[in-house]
Copies of this chain bind each other. A is one copy, B any other.
């Protein structure tokens, strides 16, 4: 069984943990080919203080590798913030990024390897040698793609800021006029990404942000086309009219998509999507050409999350072989 999961950060990582439980897989011996390949969003990546920070890749790696701060869902457990405080004492900007000491070491290793010429995919593999997440974690691309958000500036003007600044510093509260992936058009899928999709029994879209997480992955030329050739089952990130977590509504608004399970499915579209899992609250959802199933979608605990993953696998198995 080979499953591919394009994923963002917290929501993606939690779904992946449920998927591992559903498949009965986890940390594998070295050399084993994992059943799950994750195509991680790198549009959130940012360089700060000379450190190369990949929030979504790290959240997946830490969550599946046992290093995550469980309560907040991102960052390391037992984290301290000494480096961050000291940088602020020197007057270094920005101060809004939650740079932990343990996390800093990850970014130092990554920045050093990248400075030495290794592509992000090789760096990610090296970091995973320590964390053993039990999945093959691939960045969506080795090229630099950065999600920028266009916001209002001086009366009448606009400016583009890095997604992280919009998300963390402004808590997504500045109306986003546009969300763009700088560099996306010229990016190539990282080695192994297209092959993994082509060889997959199913591709599952976790309830990650459909704009800045899954949307970033889909924006890398070649990935959407590959996904359209295979069986794709998505898990709605919207329950009722609210995101399961995070601030996906602010992102959907920016691209003119309503915050509903129905609208997100239509946004992905039937060419991409074969199946769509929605919450019981959204069982009225209907999209031509997409098989919709409803079940409780809150990833409230590991068992509930595994049940969602199992439903996604079951639906994919049903749809497999039907014309995509």
Using CB atoms and an 8 Å cutoff, list the residues of chain A in contact with chain B: 49-51, 80, 82-83, 85-87, 89-92, 101-102, 104-106, 108-109, 111-112, 115, 126-127, 129-130
Q: Are A83 and B105 in contact (CB under 8 A)?
A: yes
Shortest CB distance A66–B (Å): 13
Cα separation A117 to B101 with both chains bound (whole Å): 27
Q: A50-B111, A108-B50 are in contact. Are A130 and B82 (CB under 8 A)?
A: no
Cα separation A318 to B90 with both chains bound (whole Å): 42
Cβ-closest chain B residue relative to A80: B82
Q: A50-B50, A80-B80, A80-B101 are in contact. Are A108 and B130 (CB under 8 A)?
A: no
Q: Are A102 and B127 in contact (CB under 8 A)?
A: no
**Most chain B beta-carbon neighbours within 10 Å: one of A50, A105, A112:** A105
Closest 7 CB pairs of A and B: A86-B105, A82-B101, A87-B105, A90-B109, A83-B105, A49-B108, A86-B102
Q: A82-B80, A83-B83 are in contact. Are A50 and B90 (CB under 8 A)?
A: no
Q: A89-B130, A130-B89, A130-B91 are in contact. Are A112 and B82 (CB under 8 A)?
A: no
Q: Are A105 and B80 in contact (CB under 8 A)?
A: no
Q: Are B109 and A83 in contact (CB under 8 A)?
A: no
Cβ-closest chain B residue relative to A100: B82
Cα separation A129 to B111 with both chains bound (whole Å): 28
Shortest CB distance A98–B (Å): 15
Cβ-closest chain B residue relative to A105: B86
Chain B contacts for A129, CB-based, 8 A: 91
Chain B contacts for A87, CB-based, 8 A: 105, 108-109
With A86-B106, A87-B108, A104-B104 already in contact, 13 other A-B pairs whose C-beta atoms are closer than 8 Å:
A50-B111, A50-B112, A51-B108, A83-B83, A83-B102, A83-B105, A86-B101, A87-B105, A87-B109, A90-B126, A90-B127, A91-B130, A92-B109
Chain B contacts for A115, CB-based, 8 A: 50
Cβ-closest chain B residue relative to A103: B86
Q: Are A108 and B127 in contact (CB under 8 A)?
A: no
Shortest CB distance A188–B (Å): 27
Cα separation A92 to B112 with both chains bound (whole Å): 10
Instruction: List 16 A-B residue pairs with CB atoms under 8 Å apart, sorted by A's residue number.
Output: A50-B112, A51-B108, A80-B82, A82-B82, A82-B101, A82-B102, A86-B101, A86-B102, A86-B106, A87-B108, A89-B105, A90-B106, A90-B126, A90-B130, A91-B130, A92-B109
Chain B contacts for A80, CB-based, 8 A: 80, 82, 101
Cα separation A104 to B49 with both chains bound (whole Å): 11
Chain B contacts for A112, CB-based, 8 A: 49-50, 92
Chain B contacts for A101, CB-based, 8 A: 80, 82-83, 86, 101
Cβ-closest chain B residue relative to A79: B82
Cα separation A108 to B92 with both chains bound (whole Å): 10
